[in-house]
Amino acid sequence: MSLAASFLAALPTSNLDSVDDPRALESLLARAIAAAEVRWPTVRLSHRDFVAYLAARMSPGESALSQLPARALDDLYLAFGCTIGDDAAVAAFDSAVLRDIPRALRRGDMDSAHLEDTRQHVATKLLATSPPGIASYAGRGSLRGWVRVIAIRESGRLKDGTKQETPVADDALFDAVASGIVPSQSLLKDAYRKSFKSAFEAALAALSIHDRLLLKQHFLDGLSIDRMASLHDVHRATAARWIAKLLETLLGDTRARLQTELDVNADELESVMRLIQSCMDASIGRALSPRR
């Protein structure tokens, strides 16, 4: 099926009569996809699924051919990827849009903690709900500007004290994740425990917004692997791999940071490293247990 045919099949009925040149439509869609793939080089999505997604966002009663050039089609391409949970699209959205929220909102009366809370709440609203909030973006303006408007509203709501949930603070996430996957941290000597917490929190902070959201959902919100798979519309095995990979990355980074930070002799350092490694080996199975 051609791009134009896929687009027309998903177009609202009231728009069908407005497309009288399928070849022009085919060319327009092909150029839009090529431009989107240049702008987002790491993101590769189904062309037919994207144009169907695009068609569903056309305003009824208006010519689709006249609407398309006025839409931010490359941003819609990224939004589509985020809507279906494509990892590369989410990573690109995090890097290009979400991480810019604190800078875009910075004013004299906003401290860094408030700005970070705002960013995390916007990320949750747009990526971690079902369906994801980003699915409502129709491309009538830039994605960055659309997200900024949401962030301004979210910032005001948080400042007014009307937030519905507690933001994902590093201390809360550390307590939830570390207690869940590294119960043996109590075996660490007092001299190492502070260093371990510092290294673990630094490793947490280095994760992307998307990865931190996954950890929050599993360890803070208590969602099972099956529930997460349903929420993100992926197979259970995929959700399990996400968490397993995150734990490997998180604990591996913690281990590397400890190895750099601790000022102990080689034998003592190796003893600490073996303890961390044993925690790593045992933690993944516990975290992915169906009993959660």
CA distance 89 to 156: 28
What confidence score (pLDDT) does residue 167 get? Answer: 41
Nearest to 43 by CA among 113, 9, 93: 93
CA distance 251 to 271: 16
pLDDT above 60 for 225: yes
One-letter amino acid of 131: P
Per-residue pLDDT of 18-72, as tens digits, reads 666 788 889 999 999 999 999 999 999 999 999 999 999 988 777 788 889 999 9
What confidence score (pLDDT) does residue 34 get? Answer: 97
Per-residue pLDDT of 227-242, as tens digits, reads 877 766 678 888 888 8
- Tokens 């590093």 label which residue? 170
Quickly state the pLDDT bin for 191 (edges 50, 70, 90). low
pLDDT above 60 for 290: no
Quickly state the pLDDT bin for 163 (edges 50, 70, 90). very low
Is 118:154 a contact under the CB 8 Å cutoff? yes
- Provide the CA 63 distance to its chain's centre, in angstroms: 34
CA distance 181 to 101: 31
Per-residue pLDDT of 98-154, as tens digits, reads 988 888 787 655 677 778 888 888 988 898 877 889 999 999 989 999 998 898 888
SS3 107: coil
CA distance 262 to 244: 27
**Highest mean pLDDT out of 238-247, 250-259, 264-273, 277-286:** 238-247
pTM metric for this prediction? 0.59
Quickly state the pLDDT bin for 90 (edges 50, 70, 90). very high
pLDDT (mean) for 181-205: 65
CA distance 169 to 48: 40
Of 35 and 246, more confident: 35
- Tokens 């929220």 label which residue? 101
pLDDT (mean) for 252-275: 71
Q: What is the rounded average pLDDT for all residues in the chain?
A: 78
Of 250 and 174, more confident: 250
Apex 76 CA angle, 235 and 168, nearest 5: 60
115-118 CB contacts, 8 Å cutoff, 24+ apart: 115/155, 116/167, 117/158, 117/167, 118/151, 118/154, 118/155, 118/158
Q: Where are the beta strands (DSSP E) in the chain?
A: none
What confidence score (pLDDT) does residue 54 get? Answer: 94
Quickly state the pLDDT bin for 291 (edges 50, 70, 90). very low
CA distance 67 to 249: 44
**What's the CA dihedral at 46, 52, 58, 62 to 10 degrees?**
130
pLDDT (mean) for 69-89: 94
| Residues in CB range of 147: below 8 A, 6 or more apart | 97, 98, 101, 122, 126
What confidence score (pLDDT) does residue 177 get? Answer: 62
